[in-house]
């Protein structure tokens, strides 16, 4: 029993001393550390799966100023993992929902809400002046943007990313340590990027990775322990293994290297090969032949229509499908098993939700000798948007 | 029983395939190869796992820059020849960039 209620510790009020008692009695924190937290500021990019637990724990730990950047509204399908938000918040802005929740957990925290999508125009002003940034974004353009802005501003950031049952975490742009670009110089081609909406994610996984990010942010503020600088932590929840690999700063890195070529923010949608300028994408695209939804509709009407394969999962087929045009459901994992039933000389059009899995399927068919397989660009969601609005998108 | 070497007499090492690439290995999360060096392992991947190899390597044979390979935690790009030998315990980790949050 170290500190009694009512005894004022340094610059902490009696109530604060009580609230944070369990961490003040840690020798590595102490009253001085708690005061550091009180005067610290952490900006969380993305109030989603990773940002949720990070915000909850940073608020509870007494970080004095918390910023939250997110341009989205809370959706019902977020609640399975985005524990910052609750059912009554569905339809509200995520930053507003986050602000209300944080205020209930710890009214002493000053909250700054940025209900916008981070972009090259606003990033420098939003990210400037924070002690630590926590990156919980959910797309590559924002990840490269956060990295470059943090390197240029000299603000360390705690990286976390998740996919299905697996996650990654590290600390970038800290001292002489590496940055995100040192690890991943190029973004993957957009066709190779399944999102959580496409691929699914175990709800607990961002809970694990986001709390690791909060831990690292607190360690950085307090200056204690060994931060994940120069190390990438790999979390595999199915095997339940935590492994780490060693990272080094790349002297040739475009933003933190010895002769940087990126000295101000660039167009990150274009850099990542997004819709803004796909032809300008500086990354190799898989040479998967495609067909767009208008072309497919035209070909269904005349002559010998192509065979249509749906490589999604059965529950997705129940949401929407092209059965009316003869589509057959063959989940991607079973494609190899049905090759015998298909004719390599026949025209085949393959679709999935948005075109990622079907691109893999077309690759697989091509390597099995099917030269006339085509990927439906944009998937069934694009079909629903442009051809048949009676179909739901998801 | 601990298998230290296969029929080749070479150590049998392990490749960890991350979730985003398992569609290319028929769902397998671990691959095993009998090899002397990590470069032999990469060659075996090219021979026996063409779909995976297509994702890992660019046309010039280099590892794509949105994927990293680590032998026992060390980046392959920085490994000296002497450290490229594999043993029974060796693990080659494939680390792709993922963006989910
Ligand atoms: Zn760098």
Predicted confidence (pLDDT) per residue in A18-70, tens digit: 999 999 999 999 999 999 999 999 999 999 999 999 999 999 999 999 999 99
Q: Do B101 and A195 touch (CB under 8 A)?
A: no
pLDDT given for residue B41 in this prediction: 97
Q: How far is the CA of A283 from the centre of ligand 1 (A)?
A: 18
Tokens matching residue A4:
């009694």
What's the gap in Å between the CA of B34 and the closest CA on chain A? 23
Average pLDDT, integer, range A299-305: 86
Interface test with B, best of A163, A269, A287 (most B CBs within 10 A): A163
Chain B residue with Cα closest to A367? B51
**DSSP-derived 3-state class of residue A121:** coil
Burial class for A365, CB neighbours closer than 10 Å (0-12, 13-18, 19+): buried
Pairing label, strands A41-45, A65-69: parallel
Nearest to B73 among A160, A239, A244 (CB): A244
Predicted confidence (pLDDT) per residue in A65-78, tens digit: 999 999 999 999 99
Q: How confident is the model at residue A118 (pLDDT cuts 50, 70, 90)?
A: very high
Closest CA to A364 of A321, A333, A343: A333
Q: How confident is the model at residue A347 (pLDDT cuts 50, 70, 90)?
A: very high
**ipTM of this complex prediction, to 2 decimal places:** 0.91
**Residue B98 DSSP symbol:** -
Domains of chain B: 2-96 (3.10.20.30)
The values of phi and psi at residue A373, to 5°, are -85, 135
Q: How far is the CA of A129 from the centre of ligand 1 (A)?
A: 21
* Rounded Cα–Cα distance for residues B1 and A178 (Å): 42
Nearest to A185 among B20, B65, B100 (CB): B65
Predicted confidence (pLDDT) per residue in B50-86, tens digit: 999 999 999 999 999 999 999 999 999 999 888 899 9
Nearest to B93 among A185, A238, A245 (CB): A245
What percent of chain A shows pLDDT beyond 90? 78
pLDDT given for residue A279 in this prediction: 33
Q: Is the pLDDT of residue A3 over 70?
A: no
The values of phi and psi at residue B85, to 5°, are -75, 140
Q: Do A138 and B51 touch (CB under 8 A)?
A: no
Chain B residue with Cα closest to A209? B101
Domains of chain A: 14-272 (3.40.50.720), 290-386 (3.40.250.10)
Predicted confidence (pLDDT) per residue in B84-93, tens digit: 999 999 999 9
**DSSP-derived 3-state class of residue A243:** strand
A188 has a chain B CB within 8 A of its CB: yes
* Rounded Cα–Cα distance for residues B68 and B92 (Å): 10
Which B positions 7-66 lie with beta carbon below 8 A of chain A?
A: 18-20, 23-24, 26-27, 29, 50-51, 54-55, 58-59, 64-66
For this structure, is A196 an active site residue? yes
Q: Do A161 and B75 touch (CB under 8 A)?
A: no
pLDDT given for residue A354 in this prediction: 87
Predicted confidence (pLDDT) per residue in A360-386, tens digit: 899 889 988 998 999 999 999 999 999
Compute the mean pLDDT over every residue in chain A, rounded to the nearest whole number: 91
On whether the CB atoms of residues A287 and A306 are closer than 8 A, the answer is: no
Q: How far is the CA of B93 from the centre of ligand 1 (A)?
A: 21
Chain B residue numbers with beta carbons less than 8 Å from the beta carbon of A237 are none
Burial class for A247, CB neighbours closer than 10 Å (0-12, 13-18, 19+): buried
**DSSP-derived 3-state class of residue A163:** strand
pLDDT given for residue B1 in this prediction: 43
CB neighbours of residue B54 within 10 Å:
16
Q: Is the pLDDT of residue A281 over 50?
A: no
- Any idea what the Cα angle at residue A234 is, between residues A394 and A65, rounded to 5°? 75
For this structure, is A253 an active site residue? no
Q: Do A283 and B96 touch (CB under 8 A)?
A: no
Q: How far is the CA of A141 from the centre of ligand 1 (A)?
A: 16
Nearest to A163 among B19, B27, B73 (CB): B19
Chain A residue numbers with beta carbons less than 8 Å from the beta carbon of B60 are none
Number of H helices, E strands in chain B: 2, 5
Chain B residue numbers with beta carbons less than 8 Å from the beta carbon of A207 are none
Chain B residue with Cα closest to A203? B101
Q: Is the pLDDT of residue A277 over 60?
A: no
**DSSP-derived 3-state class of residue A319:** helix
Q: Do A360 and B64 touch (CB under 8 A)?
A: no
Catalytic residue among A196, A253, A256, A272: A196
Q: Is the pLDDT of residue A278 over 50?
A: no
- The answer to pTM > 0.80 is no
Which A positions 51-110 lie with beta carbon below 8 A of chain B?
A: 51
Nearest to A49 among B50, B93, B101 (CB): B101
Q: Do B100 and A168 touch (CB under 8 A)?
A: no
């Amino acid at each position: 029993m170290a500190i009694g209620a009512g005894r004022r510790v340094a610059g902490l009020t009696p109530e604060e001393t009580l609230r944070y008692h369990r961490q003040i009695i840690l020798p590595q924190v102490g009253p001085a550390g708690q005061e550091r937290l009180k005067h610290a500021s952490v900006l969380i990019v993305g109030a989603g799966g990773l940002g949720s637990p990070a915000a909850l724990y940073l608020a509870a730990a007494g970080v004095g100023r918390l910023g939250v950047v997110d341009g989205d509204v809370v959706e019902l399908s977020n609640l399975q993992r985005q524990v910052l938000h609750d059912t009554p918040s569905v339809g509200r802005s995520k930053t507003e929902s986050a602000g209300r929740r944080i205020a209930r957990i710890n009214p002493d925290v000053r909250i700054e809400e940025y209900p916008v999508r981070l972009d090259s125009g606003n990033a420098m002003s939003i990210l400037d002046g924070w002690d630590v940034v926590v990156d919980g974004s959910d797309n590559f353009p924002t990840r490269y943007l956060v990295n470059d802005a943090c390197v240029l501003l000299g603000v360390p950031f705690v990286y976390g990313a998740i996919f299905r049952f697996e996650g990654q975490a590290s600390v970038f742009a800290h001292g002489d340590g590496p940055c995100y670009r040192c690890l991943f110089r190029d973004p993957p081609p957009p066709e190779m990027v399944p999102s959580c909406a496409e691929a699914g994610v175990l709800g607990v996984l961002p809970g694990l990775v986001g709390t690791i990010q909060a831990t690292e942010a607190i360690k950085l503020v307090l200056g204690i322990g060994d931060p994940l600088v120069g190390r990438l932590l790999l979390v595999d929840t199915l095997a339940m293994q935590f492994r780490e690999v060693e990272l080094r700063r790349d002297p040739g890195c475009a933003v933190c290297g010895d002769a940087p070529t990126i000295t101000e923010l660039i167009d990150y949608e274009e850099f990542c090969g997004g819709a803004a300028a796909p032809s300008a994408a500086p990354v190799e695209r898989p040479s998967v032949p495609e067909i767009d939804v208008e072309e497919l509709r035209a070909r269904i009407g005349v002559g010998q229509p192509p065979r249509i394969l749906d490589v999604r999962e059965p529950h997705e087929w129940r949401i929407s499908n092209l059965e009316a045009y003869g589509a057959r459901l063959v989940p991607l994992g079973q494609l190899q098993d049905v090759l015998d039933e298909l004719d390599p000389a026949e025209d085949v059009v393959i679709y999935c939700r948005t075109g990622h899995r079907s691109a893999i399927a077309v690759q697989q068919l091509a390597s099995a000798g099917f030269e006339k397989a085509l990927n439906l660009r944009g998937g069934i969601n694009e079909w629903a948007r442009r051809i048949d609005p009676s179909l739901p998108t998801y | 029983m601990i298998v230290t070497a296969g029929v080749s007499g070479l150590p049998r090492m392990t490749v960890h395939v991350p979730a985003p690439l398992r569609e290319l290995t028929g769902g397998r999360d671990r691959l095993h190869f009998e090899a002397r060096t990590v470069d032999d392992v990469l060659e075996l991947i090219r021979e026996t796992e063409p779909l995976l190899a297509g994702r890992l390597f660019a046309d010039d044979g280099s590892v794509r820059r949105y994927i990293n390979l680590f032998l026992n935690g060390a980046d392959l790009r920085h490994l000296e020849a002497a450290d490229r030998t594999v043993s029974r315990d060796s693990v080659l980790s494939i680390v792709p960039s993922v963006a989910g949050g």
